[in-house]
Amino acid sequence: MSIDLAATLADLVRIPSVNPMGRTDLPDSILYESRVTAYLEERLKGLGAAPRRQSVLPGRDNLLAVYEPPTPPTRTIVFECHQDTVPVDAMIVEPFGAKVEGGKLYGRGSCDVKGGATVMLGAFARLMKERPAGSARVLICYTADEEHTFLGVQELVKQGLKADAAIVAEPTLLNIVRAHKGVVRWVVETPGRACHSSRPENGVNAIYRMGRLLAAIEAYAKDLHARTPDPLLGPRTVSVGRILGGVSANTVPDVCRIDVDRRLIPGEVAADAGRDLETFLRSFAGVDFPFTMKESHAPCAPLSPELSSELVKEFGQSIDAVVGRHEVQVVPFGTDASTIARGGIPAIVFGPGDIAQAHTKDEWIDLAQLEPAAEILFRFATR
């Protein structure tokens, strides 16, 4: 390859790009994508590309570069990969150490998704070096904020992204993901009235109220599961992931909040899902008090396979030419691919690594998957 993939991945893992995901207790020295953006920018410049930044949030940018073939391009392909990682709490390996042992590279982001960032850079570097005739124009896009609010890819599409196909990097074990669920999240809040706990009758306990809402959401989860599932992706789901409330044991709490996660199937719209849940909760026995429900950030739509049938076939041929076989899969988690597909561009998900290792306490990637992944991307661009 034109670049050392393992060394490049190690560089990226050593550079923190943690998305705090709304938290305020993490050190500034590990937060956000700016250091990774600067590293990738210099690497792209070193290849002879002219990268440009696209502002997403203050100090947080998408990074874009274009490979133009020496002959009229056969088509335009997007290589898209996010720059951010989840936090590093409870990791049992050095999060930014990039330790290599037994053919595995350990560290936060090694699997999700700096391995994908590396192989896309590798394929792009080879295109820039060899400049094969009869190849596609390739737009490589490193986006911000995928792990929390998907703002980077939304800005990318909003700015007029145009292409014939998109490959979105996530760990798929070199297989193709053609469809996935979407996600919408809400903050649900119950109000109360604070007072001293020695006279609780003088207050209104917001946590007690939330307890009744939680029972309603549990019932709603069963109701969702009983509805007609998607033939590929299965049932709709809802889950409560976090609860916050109270200031001390001797104070009746005046507010309680929960974070609710709803997974969408193709055909569902986030706004309709919100109205459906709120209607169910307000009609549930015992919920006779006010509450509020607000989206915590812009939702991620489901990825339907409708646009990508030809892309799946063509990309599968590139995989088979390198590793001999592949699977076409569907997954329950969301990716940037659905936002790109909603912009009218056929999109699939592909990359080295196993999603089972993503976000784990000892996150790692099998280094043997890097070169085949980069070769697959290169072959697809030169079909």
SS3 340: helix
Q: Is residue 349 over pLDDT 60?
A: yes
Cα 102–chain centre separation: 28
- Cα separation, 128 vs 47, in Å, equals 7
- Cα separation, 122 vs 143, in Å, equals 17
Q: pLDDT band at residue 22, thresholds of 50, 70 and 90?
A: confident
Q: Which of 275, 295, 315 is the last residue of a domain?
A: 295
- Rounded average pLDDT over 74-79: 98
Identify the CATH number of the domain in which residue 311 sits.
Answer: 3.40.630.10
- For the stretch 83-112, pLDDT in tens is 999 999 999 999 999 999 999 999 999 999
Both 377 and 258 in a single domain? no
Both 129 and 277 in a single domain? no
Q: For residues 334 and 358, is the Cβ–Cβ distance under 8 A?
A: no
Tokens linked to 231: 């033939």
**274 φ/ψ angles, rounded to the nearest 5 degrees:** -65, -45
Q: Is residue 144 over pLDDT 70?
A: yes
CA nearest to 137, candidates 80, 77, 81, 79: 77
Q: Is residue 151 over pLDDT 80?
A: yes
Cα dihedral across residues 196, 198, 200, 201: positive or negative: negative
How many domains does the chain divide into?
A: 2
In this prediction, what percent of the chain has a pLDDT beyond 70?
100
Both 127 and 98 in a single domain? yes
Q: Which of 242, 269, 295 is the last residue of a domain?
A: 295
- For the stretch 306-339, pLDDT in tens is 999 999 999 999 999 999 999 999 999 999 999 9
- pLDDT reported for residue 2: 78
- For the stretch 179-212, pLDDT in tens is 999 999 999 999 999 999 999 999 999 999 999 9
Q: Which of 262, 280, 295 is the last residue of a domain?
A: 295
- The bridge status of strand 251-252 relative to strand 137-143 is unpaired
Q: Does the pTM of the predicted model rise above 0.75?
A: yes
Cis peptide bond N-terminal to 113, omega within 30: yes
Q: pLDDT band at residue 298, thresholds of 50, 70 and 90?
A: confident
- Cα separation, 126 vs 64, in Å, equals 17
Mean pLDDT of the chain: 97
Q: pLDDT band at residue 228, thresholds of 50, 70 and 90?
A: very high
Both 331 and 367 in a single domain? yes
Cα dihedral across residues 310, 315, 321, 327: positive or negative: negative
Cα 297–chain centre separation: 14
Both 334 and 360 in a single domain? yes
Both 190 and 316 in a single domain? no
Q: Is residue 347 over pLDDT 70?
A: yes
- pLDDT reported for residue 217: 98
Both 237 and 311 in a single domain? no
Both 31 and 129 in a single domain? yes
Domain of 233, in residue numbers: 182-295
Buried b / exposed e over 338-359, threshold 16 CB at 10 Å, is: bbbbbbebbbbbbbbbebebbe
Q: pLDDT band at residue 114, thresholds of 50, 70 and 90?
A: very high
Both 166 and 214 in a single domain? no
Q: Is residue 1 over pLDDT 60?
A: no
CA nearest to 143, candidates 9, 302, 17: 17
User: Count of CB atoms within 10 A of residue 226's CB?
Assistant: 10
- For the stretch 238-297, pLDDT in tens is 999 999 999 999 999 999 999 999 999 999 999 999 999 999 999 999 999 999 999 998
Contacting residues for 214 by C-beta, under 8 A, at least 6 apart: 240, 258
Q: pLDDT band at residue 10, thresholds of 50, 70 and 90?
A: very high
350 forms bridges with which residues in the sheet?
169
Both 288 and 216 in a single domain? yes
